[in-house]
């Protein structure tokens, strides 16, 4: 088997891998990208409803989860969201802000994938798909064996992502190779994932699939004000997805269903102003009709508000402002947008993403224990960590 020589081998043809390859190749490095998939950038193409939420106008280290909350600062400073926006504009890609600083392509996510592949072509990156890697070893350089090739390189970049969305080819490959080289991997779990509420205590949620409402979801000191959405098996929507990344196993989240409103005071005011109105009618002015009905016990479904005691109204108001929810589980990696946890940041240089114990080995993107919020942050971590590694690999 003939041996092919490269300066850098990047494993993973996703957002981080392709961008890292292009940056390294711009420095004159001979770069090879390997991926087991038949096509590059599968997650890019489905992201943002097919329009790719490629970054956010405001990105800070505080927008990321990690055992080291400061780790992301250096990479984010080296290549900011503003830097990627300039790149998008330079390539003529039209985009818009949706909400909360989230930037999306006007047209298709294929524009972002096209940008990355174009940079790779322009800088003579070699891309090989449908490659099954059978062995990686390290002597004076890294040797990578596939079913058909033997490749040697002085730098190896692991960019295969985490475990989220296995139907798109997600595996624990980077974790396995990191462990092979003695790097610690923190526990991983689904992040930005819908929550399940099953069993008798949550029967009131049945029939609410598709209903959404403004909310504040809170766990501990962390809270997010966005919409929540009922699903067939529980809750999703931006607020719930955001808090899911922080929610401890068997943890209880608090949901304020009327943020910015004293629900008890509002109900008492309605009782004084409209005593003949049914309680469900009052609630239907605050929530979608199906949800308004589900929030009331069966005995109060047709109850006139004047017949409801002040104590009952205060209790209902308190529940609307602080609904305690303990999920029975999550939808798992199959529906998770990201993986929380990964290669321990204590093993990596925050300046270069290089493994401090294994010269020439780099880990970037989702595979690292740096997980962003919903809203373009995980893509920005892909660009920033890729730039940091690509600048030195």
Model pLDDT for residues 1-49, shown as the tens digit of each residue: 668 999 999 999 999 999 999 999 999 999 999 999 999 999 999 999 9
Q: Give the whole-angstrom CA distance, residue 43 versus residue 27.
A: 27
Q: Do the Cβ atoms of 206 and 199 come closer than 8 Å? A: no
**pLDDT (tens digit per residue) in 288-328:** 999 999 999 877 878 999 999 999 999 999 999 999 999 99
H or E element at residue 61: none
Residue 148, pLDDT above cutoff 90: no
**pLDDT (tens digit per residue) in 163-219:** 999 999 999 999 999 999 999 999 999 999 999 999 999 999 989 999 999 999 999
Task: Report residue 46 as tokens.
Answer: 């489905």
pLDDT of residue 301: 78
Residue 147, pLDDT above cutoff 90: no
Torsions phi, psi for 282 (to 5 deg): -60, -45
Q: Catalogue all structural domains in the chain, each as residue range(s) with its CATH number.
A: 3-189+339-390 (3.50.50.60), 191-259+324-330 (2.40.30.10), 263-322 (1.10.8.260)
**pLDDT (tens digit per residue) in 68-94:** 999 999 999 999 999 999 999 999 999
Q: Give the whole-angstrom CA distance, residue 29 versus residue 118.
A: 17
- Give pTM, 2 decimals: 0.95
Q: Do the Cβ atoms of 142 and 360 come closer than 8 Å? A: yes
Q: Identify the residue whose tokens are 């047709």.
A: 302
Closest alpha carbon to 155 in 20, 50, 281: 20
- What DSSP letter does each residue of 310-375 carry, written as one string? HHHHHHHHHHHH-EEE--SEE--TTT-SEEE--B-GGGB-TTT-BBTTSTTEEE-GGGBS-EEPTT
pLDDT of residue 242: 98
Closest alpha carbon to 102 in 73, 86, 81, 87: 81
pLDDT of residue 151: 97
Q: Give the whole-angstrom CA distance, residue 206 versus residue 293.
A: 12
pLDDT of residue 338: 98
Q: Give the whole-angstrom CA distance, residue 38 versus residue 237.
A: 31
Q: Give the whole-angstrom CA distance, residue 41 versus residue 382.
A: 12
Task: For residue 16, count other CB atoms closer than 10 A to its CB.
Answer: 34
Closest alpha carbon to 294 in 277, 279, 276: 279
Q: Average pLDDT, stretch 345-355?
A: 98
Q: Give the whole-angstrom CA distance, residue 3 versus residue 139.
A: 15
The span from the first CA to the last CA of the chain, in angstroms, equals: 26
20 to 111, 119, 218, 304: CA distances (angstroms): 18, 10, 36, 64
Average pLDDT, the chain: 96
pLDDT of residue 1: 65
């Amino acid at each position: 088997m003939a041996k092919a020589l490269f300066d850098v081998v990047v494993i993973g043809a996703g957002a981080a891998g392709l961008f890292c390859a292009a940056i390294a190749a711009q420095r004159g490095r001979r770069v090879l990208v390997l991926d087991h998939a038949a096509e590059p950038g599968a997650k890019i193409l489905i992201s943002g409803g097919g329009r790719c939420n490629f970054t956010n106008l405001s990105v800070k280290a505080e927008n990321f989860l990690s055992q080291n909350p400061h780790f992301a600062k250096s990479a984010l400073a080296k290549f900011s969201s503003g830097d990627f926006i300039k790149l998008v504009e330079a390539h003529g890609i039209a985009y818009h802000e949706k909400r909360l600083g989230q930037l999306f392509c006007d047209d298709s996510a294929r524009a972002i994938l096209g940008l990355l592949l174009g940079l790779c072509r322009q800088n003579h990156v070699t891309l090989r798909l449908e490659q099954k890697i059978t062995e990686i070893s390290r002597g004076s350089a890294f040797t990578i064996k596939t079913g058909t090739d033997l490749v040697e390189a002085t730098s190896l970049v692991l960019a295969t992502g985490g475990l989220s969305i296995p139907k798109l080819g997600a595996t624990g490959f980077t974790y396995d190779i990191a462990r092979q080289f003695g790097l610690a991997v923190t526990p991983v779990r689904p992040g930005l994932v819908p929550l399940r509420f099953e069993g008798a205590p949550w029967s009131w949620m049945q029939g609410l699939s598709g209903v959404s409402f403004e909310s504040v979801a809170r766990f501990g000191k962390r809270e997010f004000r966005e919409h929540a959405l009922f699903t067939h098996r529980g809750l999703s929507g931006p607020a719930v997805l955001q808090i899911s990344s922080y929610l401890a196993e068997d943890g209880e989240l608090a949901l304020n269903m009327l943020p910015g409103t004293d629900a008890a005071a509002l109900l008492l005011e309605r009782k004084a102003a409209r005593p003949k109105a049914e309680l469900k009618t009052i609630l239907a002015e605050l929530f979608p009709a199906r949800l308004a009905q589900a929030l009331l016990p069966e005995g109060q479904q047709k109850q006139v508000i004047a017949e409801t005691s002040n104590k009952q109204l205060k209790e209902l108001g308190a529940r609307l402002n602080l609904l305690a929810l303990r999920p029975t589980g999550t939808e798992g990696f199959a529906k998770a947008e990201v993986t929380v946890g990964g290669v321990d940041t204590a093993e990596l240089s925050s300046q270069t993403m290089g493994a401090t114990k294994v010269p020439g080995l780099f880990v970037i993107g989702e595979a690292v224990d740096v997980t962003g919020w919903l809203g373009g942050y995980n893509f920005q971590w892909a660009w920033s960590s890729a730039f940091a590694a690509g600048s030195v690999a």
